[in-house]
Amino acid sequence: MAASSRFYMHIHNMSQQGLVAFLEATFADGPRHQEVWTSTITITWSWNGMGAGQAYTACDRSKQAARDTASRMAIQAMGVNTDNLP
């Protein structure tokens, strides 16, 4: 379960360190027994200017997976190699 939110954890930590500013919108759609979660991460500012002003959206059956995938796309857009993240 820890790995499912590692990219969101990284972008949150980057925000706390002043390396990035972002907005997050996450919502569910569909009947309760077949919910599809949509998460959008919008980079409003980044230390290197890469990815700023862009929105990254992902959909999945779980909230955590959608948020994690959108976070991974945003981190990659800032030029960070996600293969090397712990």
Per-residue pLDDT tens over the stretch 27-41:
999 999 999 999 999
pLDDT at 5 (0 to 100): 63
Contact assessment for residue 67 and residue 39, using Cβ atoms and an 8 Å cutoff = yes
Other beta carbons less than 10 A from residue 37's beta carbon: 19
Number of domains in the chain: 1
What domain range is 11 assigned to? Answer: 2-80
Q: Say which residue, 64 or 3, is predicted with more confidence.
A: 64
Determine, yes or no, domain membership for 45: yes
pLDDT at 84 (0 to 100): 82
Q: What is the mean pLDDT of the chain?
A: 93
Determine, yes or no, domain membership for 85: no
**CATH number of the domain to which 47 belongs:** 3.30.160.20
Determine, yes or no, domain membership for 60: yes
Give this prediction's pTM.
0.90
Say which range, 1-15, 27-41, 60-74, has the weakest mean pLDDT.
1-15
What is the C-alpha to C-alpha distance for residues 4 and 52, in angstroms, rounded to an integer? 25
